[in-house]
Chain A
Amino acid sequence: MKSDIHQFISCDAAKDLLYFVTAGSVDDGKSTLIGRLLHDSKMIYEDHLKSVKNASLKAGSATGEIDMSFFTDGLKAEREQGITIDVAYRYFTTAKRKFIIIDCPGHEQYTRNMATGASNANLSLILIDAQKGMSVQSRRHAFICSLLGIPHMVVVINKMDKIGYSQKTYERIRGEFENFAAKLSVPDLHFIPVSALKGDNVVEKSPMMKWFKGTPLLEYLENVYVASDRNLVDLRFPVQYVIKDDDNHRYYAGRIASGVIRKGDSVKIMSSGRTTRISRISLHEKELKYAFAGQSVGFGTEDEVDISSGDVIVHPNNLPAEARCFEAIIISLSESPIDGGTQYRLKNYARTAKAVISRIHYRIDVNTLRRKNCKSLSLNEIGRATITSSKPLFHDSYARNRKTGAFILIDPVSNDTVACGMIIERGASSKKIAGISCFKEDRISGRTPTRSLVPEDERERIFKQKGCTVWLTGLLSSGKREIACELEKLLVESGHPCVLLDGGRMRRGVDMELDFSKQDVTEHVRRAAEMAKIINECGIICICSFVSPERAIREQARKIVGDDKFIEVFADASPEWCAMNDATGLYKKAQGGELGTLAGVSSKYERPSCPDITLFPEINSASKSAKKLFDYMINRKYLHFSITETILILKRRGLSPAGKS
């Protein structure tokens, strides 16, 4: 007896696990089918059966027939309304395999719950009522399953007993479905005619359908080959947690998303870009020579390198995409529409980042698969969008890698999971945007800046000016923008080409994924400085109006632009005066404690220690301050005029050529 049990245990342990998803409503016979699978494989306990019988009677089943949906519909509300609302998980085992049934609701309003269930399945089971043929619902289920990349699909044409086991009808429905499936991506499609009620082709082969040459459903489920569905090629090891032992040795723990890692492998750490070697791999107490996709393991490295959670370990010759901008198919899971206005938190297999939807390209009508233009996605709607994140994400396309091509979006206020996304191969347009903040050497290698055919001094002569940057710093609403606008007017009217950059303009596009955290403000200013630099190199003046509250930030901007081209202008006004002039409402918010990052009120503003020029908006009008600046630029020879021009201009403005600097 004891050896029998040991044999059973070792057989049982060797079985693999198949996750399959079913969707549909009670009418399709979904519950009957699941009930039969469970019942015939003896996975329904007597006490459960008894309570289901009681419940069926209570619900008014006149015949005393058992309502099989009571097994899976585990919530009171579901039993009362007679519908499946959320996913239920059921477990059964046969001699060959273990199964997890992910039973999903079929109604359109619960599409998001179906997506939850479908995301982890190896196989999808689509039910079609043979009497009705393909329905809108079966199309939708098939579409969602294909979107979520479930590799195997079995279409079960049910209630064959009701149509006299007609082969003709079966073939017609099959033909229709195949036509539809041609538009989806389903690598493996299979059809089985069954009667769940009578048990035809569920567990046993049906004597009523001799014309069907295939295997019954259970046999198919037991034998479908799923081990090759995993990606064992591209090593992607997300570091989830760093473990330290008593001797302070560091181990990097995580679950391998894809690929195989071996002891001694040379690996690259994504984010730092450093390479090292794997010195050990451990599965808890056991030391391993190699580990593969799906295993939760830990590893150590030969060198002391900086690795932290959120990093991804890869092979240096097989890198994931590293981008802040990519396209994806999005399913909206949220009551409030998904659009470009909200900053979400994006979480993928490795890390979390802030993200915005830069564009929604179109929405897909789930029933017709037609594309429609739209600006936002409502609950359960599916569309294609461009996402921009605050940090680079290491990813692959979902089609290539289900683990690394997936992400969710979380609403930062409600904390709800509001969307899920599946990344599509990147398009050319997304690369352009993603490149803006590329900073690292290796990414610009081989790409030297384009050299203009017009040298700088030639430009200076033609434009009658030196390309320089007027950097206005000061508190919010201190009058910077008004001065900047007046200065722009003076420059343009006197024939001097210039560009005005400010927070509003930058944040509309270039900085759309950034917020007002310290880190993002630094990045915001850095980008502005980089743009100013390019503009100056073209011989054009750049007027920058940014709070830029820290000395270090301004110093960085000066460094980027170049010391000789950088004019630091301080709009010196008291916080009280700024608050009085404020039209943004931010001062009120900050004073009320709602906003923790307003320079001069709830966070620090560091006054420039020696600005090139200081203006006093409280005393002088914006145009007067602008004139002072204009004068300064003439005196410092940023602007060139012929003598007659100079005199003319200054006379018109009522100023003398010998203005103070």
Chain B
Amino acid sequence: MKMREKYIQSNLDQLEAESIHIIREVAAEFENPVMLYSIGKDSSVMLRLAQKAFHPGKIPFPLLHVDTGMKFNEMYAFRDKLARQIGTRLIVYRNEEAISRGINPFSHGTQKCCSFLKTQALVDSIKKHGFDAAFGGARRDEERSRAKERVFSFRDENGVWDPKNQRPELWSIYNTRIDKGQSIRVFPLSNWTELDVWVYILREKIPVVPLYFAKKREMIVRDGQLIPIEGPIPLKKGETPQKVLCRFRTLGCYPCTGAVLSSAASIEHIIEEMINVRTSERATRIIDHDSDGSMETKKREGYF
């Protein structure tokens, strides 16, 4: 019988085991952790990993959605359905003050909009609830400053990341010590690639928002990006909405999330597209390109 035992872990199994170890470590070491849930594919994978990590028990921490009020309707519908099913508390936090002041990317610019509605909202919600650890679904292959970040990433009292002075992180022994008011951002998917995420979604039959699948959608072309007509978007001169067969490779706020031309209507087709794709996933995220090193700047201020 021993002869037939195999001790080989596939790359996906290795990644899964690593992520689960990270998630359990947080539950074991922190008083009040929270899992950031952004409704996207990475969050969905992370949530599934959390379910697995504590099976047959319940996930011992709540989920937190930092809402800008500018997500796609399909995302809200997906989130609310999920919240009814998972049996874990979902906290929705919005920077109501900034929202009521009408902050938006069109009149205030993307940098300011992100800073108020995402970064500040995130830092405030962590403070308000006294969370000492917050999981995020960011991956190192997404962007070059994320490629530099530790799995357990220390943030000071203001949520600030100091990339030049990160804690050494050896083996899988994670330093989880912090003082009151400080927190740790934890990235269980650090070593996953975009392709890994899709292969895992297929393998585990994880539901995702339909926006990822190709469909004819009402779009405009702006600055070389395909922008959806999802909410009230002020049209510039010469911009006319048109029906385009496209899908979203990554999901954010609708005014700042571009679609890609695609006919991939199933996970298998998405994976196939992935193999041949020549542009990066975040190429359609307008906020990544508003200045050189803009992700690093946002992260320093407390963005995920």
**Chain A interfacial positions (CB closer than 8 Å to B):** 1-2, 4-6, 8-9, 12-17, 45-48, 51, 55, 58, 71-77, 79, 85-91, 93, 98, 100, 112-113, 115-116, 119-120, 227, 230, 232, 240-241, 243-246, 251, 253-255, 260, 282, 284-285, 290, 292-296, 298, 309, 333, 345, 347-349, 402-403, 406-408, 410, 412, 415-417, 420
Contact = CB atoms under 8 A, between A and B. Distances in A.
Contact of B177 (A55, A87, A232, A345): A345
B171 A227 contact: no
Interface stretch (B19-27, B77-85, B118-126, B207-215): B19-27
A230 B21 CA distance: 18
A243 B56 contact: yes
Interface stretch (B62-70, B95-103, B139-147, B229-237): B139-147
A251 B164 CA distance: 41
Contacts of B169: 116, 417
Interface in B242-292: 268-269, 271-272, 275, 277-280, 283, 292
Contacts of A15: 10-11
Give the most central of B12, B51, B177, B277: most A CB within 10 Å: B177
Contacts of B202: 9
A285 B55 contact: yes
B144 A74 contact: yes
Contacts, number: 200
Contacts of A46: 278-279
17 contacts: A8-B272, A15-B10, A74-B143, A76-B296, A77-B163, A86-B148, A88-B148, A90-B141, A120-B172, A240-B21, A251-B56, A253-B24, A253-B53, A292-B5, A415-B175, A415-B178, A416-B167
Contacts of A420: 168, 170
Nearest to B200: A13
A68 B190 CA distance: 23
A402 B171 contact: yes
Contacts of B8: 16, 227
Interface residues of B, number: 68
A408 B175 contact: yes
B292 A55 contact: yes
A295 B167 contact: no
A293 B21 CA distance: 13
Contacts of A410: 175, 177
Contacts of B163: 75, 77, 86
A9 B199 contact: yes
Given A74-B296, A77-B164, A347-B175, A5 B10 contact: no
A311 B3 CA distance: 30
B24 A45 contact: no
B128 interface: no
A348 to B, nearest CB: 6
Contacts of B56: 243, 245-246, 251
Contact of B57 (A13, A227, A243): A243
Nearest to B175: A417
Contacts of A333: 168
A90 to B, nearest CB: 7
A48 B27 CA distance: 36
B144 A5 contact: no
Contacts of A112: 168
Interface of B: 5, 7-18, 20-21, 24-25, 27-28, 51-57, 140-141, 143-148, 163-164, 166-173, 175, 177-179, 190-191, 193, 195, 199, 202-203, 268-269, 271-272, 275, 277-280, 283, 292-293, 296
A324 B9 CA distance: 34
A251 B57 contact: yes
A8 B275 contact: yes
B274 to A, nearest CB: 10
Given A75-B148, A77-B164, A9 B171 contact: no
The 3 closest A-B pairs by CB, nearest first: A74-B144, A45-B280, A284-B52
Given A241-B27, A416-B167, A293 B177 contact: no
Given A12-B199, A45-B283, A91-B193, A296 B24 contact: yes
Contact of B283 (A47, A93, A119, A412): A47
Contact of B20 (A45, A255, A416): A255
A113 B166 CA distance: 9
Given A47-B283, A251-B56, A115 B177 contact: no
Contact of A403 (B10, B27, B171, B195): B171
A254 B168 contact: no
A187 to B, nearest CB: 19
B20 A115 contact: no
B268 A6 contact: yes
A406 B173 contact: yes
B177 A415 contact: yes
B172 A294 contact: no
Given A13-B11, A45-B280, A245-B56, A255 B17 contact: yes
Given A13-B199, A232-B7, A89 B57 contact: no
Contacts of B272: 1, 4-5, 8
Contacts of A415: 175, 177-179
Contacts of A254: 21, 24
A1 B199 CA distance: 17
A75 B147 CA distance: 9
A74 B277 CA distance: 22
Contact of A89 (B52, B191, B199, B277): B191
Contact of B278 (A4, A45, A227, A345): A45
Nearest to A232: B7
A284 B55 contact: yes
B162 to A, nearest CB: 11
Contacts of B141: 89-91
A282 B292 CA distance: 47
A115 B168 contact: yes
B37 to A, nearest CB: 20
Given A88-B147, A90-B147, A112-B168, 13 more contacts: A9-B202, A45-B279, A46-B278, A47-B280, A74-B145, A255-B21, A260-B7, A282-B55, A285-B52, A293-B7, A309-B28, A406-B173, A420-B170
Contacts of A115: 168, 170
B17 A294 contact: yes
A284 B53 CA distance: 7
A345 B275 CA distance: 46
Contacts of A296: 16-18, 20-21, 24, 53
Contacts of A73: 144
Contacts of A79: 293
Contacts of B173: 347-349, 406-408
Nearest to A101: B147
A79 B164 CA distance: 13
